[in-house]
Amino acid sequence: MPENEEIIRFQNVGMRYGVGKEILHDVSFRMQAGSFYFLTGASGAGKSTLLRLMYLAQRPSRGLVTLFGHDLATTPRHVLPALRRRIGVVFQDFRLIDHLTATENVALPLRLAGASDAQIREHVPQLLKWVGLGDHLDARPTTLSGGQKQRVAIARAVIARPHLLLADEPTGNVDDSIAMRLMHLLEELHRIGTTIVVATHNQQLVSRFAHPQLHLVNGELSQALPSPGAGASG
C-alpha cells in the first residue's frame, strides 16, 4: 500500500443500536497508509463500536465511511469480503476457535485467502515462533494462558499481511512486561508498512509511544498529537 494513501475516512458518522441513544456522534477523521494511532477513551466511550465500524462488523446509522477508497454505502456486498481480508483484527476477547490448534487458528486467514498447504506450513509455524509460541504449535486455546492466547490472536491478525491492523485492548489481559512485548511487536509491523490502530484505555501505555491519538469522550472524537517526551520507552 503506497504511503500517504488514505486508508480510512469517517465523515460525520453516527452510530446507534436499534432505537437506543447514539453511541458515536459526528465522528470524522482520516487515516493515511502506514500510520499508527491509539484510540483512547474511558470504558463505554465507544472505542469498540468505532473499531467494529472500521472492520465492517457494523454499518453506521448515518455518515460516510470510506475504506481503501471504497465508499461503503455504495460498495456492492460481494466486494466487502476482499476488503475485510485486507484488515487484521485483534479482538479484546481473542475469539480463538477452541477446537482448533494454535497453528490452525493462525492459518485461518490464509485459508480464507486461498493459500496452499505448503504456504501455510511454511509461514504459520514461523510466525508462531516469532511471537514466542514455537513450542505451542499444536496447543489448543483452552490450554494456553491469557498472554499466549493474545499472541496467537495477534499472529492470526497479521499472518495474511493486512494493510490495516485493528487491535482492541491488546494489552488488557496481560501483565506489563508482556504488554510491552506485544506493543513492540505491533511497532515492528508498523515499521514494515502496516497501518495500525490500537484501542486502549491505558494512558500510561499510550504515553510510552510517540503516536497520535484518537480520543473518544461520550461518543465524540478529538484528535491529539503525541505529548512532548512521549515514546521514551517505545
Partner 1 sequence: MFRQSAIMPLSRDAASRFLPWLIAFMVWLATLALALVLALSTMSEDWKRGMSGTLTVQIVPGPNSTPVAEKERLDAALRLLRQTPAVLSAEPLPGDRIQKLLEPWLGENAVSGALNLPVPVLIDVRLKPGTSIDAKALGATLAAAVPGAMLDDHGVWLERLIELARAVEFVALAILAFIAVAATATVVFATRTGLAIHHEVIELLHVMGARDGYIASQFQRQTFWLSLKGGLVGFLLAAGTLAALGYLLSRIEAGLLPPVGLTPWQWGSLVSVAVCATVISVLTARYTVIRAVGRLP
Residues that bind partner 1 (CB under 8 A): 55-59, 77-78, 81-87, 89, 95, 97, 99-101, 104, 107-109, 111-113, 117-118, 120-121
Q: Which residue, 157 or 178, is less far from partner 1 as judged by CB?
A: 157
Of residues 21 and 99, the one with the C-beta less far from partner 1: 99
Q: At what angle do helices 146-158 and 102-112 cross, to 10 degrees?
A: 20
Q: Angle CA(26)–CA(28)–CA(31) in degrees, nearest 5?
A: 160
Q: Which helix (H) or strand (E) holds 27?
A: strand 22-32
In the complex, the smallest distance separating the C-beta of residue 63 from partner 1, rounded to whole angstroms, is 15
Furthest-apart CA atoms within the chain: distance in Å:
50
Complex with partner 1: residue 137 or 180, whichever CB lies closer: 137
Measured at the CA of 38, the angle between CA 91 and CA 88, to 5 degrees, comes to: 35
Asked whether the beta carbons of 158 and 189 are under 8 A apart, the reply is: yes
Closest contact distance (angstroms) between CB of 156 and partner 1 is 8
Min separation Cβ 125 and partner 1, Å = 10
DSSP tag of 140: -
Nearer to partner 1, 168 or 207 (CB): 168
* C-beta of 159 vs 189, nearer to partner 1: 159
Q: Shortest Cβ distance from residue 58 to partner 1 (Å)?
A: 6
The closest of 178, 94, 89, 90 to 142, measured between CA atoms, is 94
Judged by beta carbon, residue 91 or residue 209, the one nearer partner 1 is: 91
The CA-CA-CA angle for residues 49, 165, 170, to 5°, reads: 70
Shortest Å distance, C-beta 210 to partner 1? 30
Nearest to 50 by CA among 29, 70, 81, 80: 29
CB of 150 to partner 1, least distance (A): 16
